[in-house]
Amino acid sequence: MILFYICIEPKKTIMSFLSGNLKLLRKRKGKTQEEAALEMGTKRVSINSYENGIAEPTIETLLKISDYYKISLDTVLRVDLGSLSEIQLKEIEGGYDTFIKGTKLRVLATTVNNNDRENVELVPLKAKAGYTAGYNDPQFISGLPTFQLPFLSRERKYRTFQIEGDSMLPIPDKSYVICEYVDNWYDIKDGNAYVVLTENDGLVFKVAFNHIKKNRSLLLKSLNPIYHPYEIEIKDIKEVWKFVNYISGELPTEGMTMEALVSTVMQLKNDMDSFRRTKN
């Protein structure tokens, strides 16, 4: 069974801001209702109904709206765009979503078992490329392997990703990392590990440093110091999953003693301090 998470402010409905926002976005795009309907693959009467608060769009239509206007569903549904300044509107239209409370796609497909308990979907290496394109496709998500872990909270959403390479040693190559869905990117904590779904690089597993308020980006670093850190803009991120645990059939890399691990962490800290100095 497939479920959808739609993150909406408590005591507010989808229609709270949607009708006004859709009309504003269409006019700023310089399109008539007929033109917008044609380009979105829907009917003009439907666009008219949404803009006048007569009807509510389906999940599929909400996804089309998000793609067409290049704006997160979180913002469309929860923020009164008419109250924003011209600068804020241009930032949002340019891909810099000022209101980052969740991923760019606020509709998260998930599966449940016969007891209506959420599954932990598994994204193996062979499905990694497909996940980049199908992360918001219920049919793709329903085709992933699933399992249950009794020690995970029923109140949170988990997904498992298989990693590859040596960038996050001592976590071995081909390990399975269990992650918790992050629905508010401002909650990303410096120094914690995350699986990040990116526009250009697909799924990456890195230690993150939160620069969203400062310059709308995340600094991503590897535990293995031979890999250089890099920044990625928020507009290029689709999903964020916080590392919880990992499963591996291999022993940690030989020679990775506690002293070596401490040394790696200290090197990470020194690199971070050096990076901050160069930014100031």
| pLDDT grade for 96, boundaries at 50, 70 and 90 | low
Confirm whether pTM is higher than 0.85.
Answer: no
What are the pLDDT digits (tens) for 147-186?
A: 999 899 988 999 999 999 999 988 999 999 999 999 888 8
95 pLDDT higher than 70: no
Q: What is 113-279's CATH number?
A: 2.10.109.10
Cα 48-105-122 angle, rounded to 5 deg: 140
- 8 A C-beta contact, residue 206 and residue 163: no
d(CA 1, CA 110): 8
Mean pLDDT of the chain: 82
What does 13-81 look like in DSSP terms, one character per residue?
Answer: -THHHHHHHHHHHHHHTT--HHHHHHHHTS-HHHHHHHHTTSS---HHHHHHHHHHHT--HHHHHH--G
| pLDDT grade for 48, boundaries at 50, 70 and 90 | very high
Q: For strands 2-6 and 107-111, give the pairing.
A: antiparallel
What are the pLDDT digits (tens) for 237-260?
A: 889 999 999 998 876 655 555 555
d(CA 24, CA 219): 34
5 pLDDT higher than 80: no
Assign domain 2-93 to its CATH superfamily: lambda repressor-like DNA-binding domains (1.10.260.40)
Q: What is the mean predicted confidence (pLDDT) over 139-150? A: 93
* Higher local confidence (pLDDT), 238 or 121: 121
Where in the chain are the domains? 2-93, 113-279
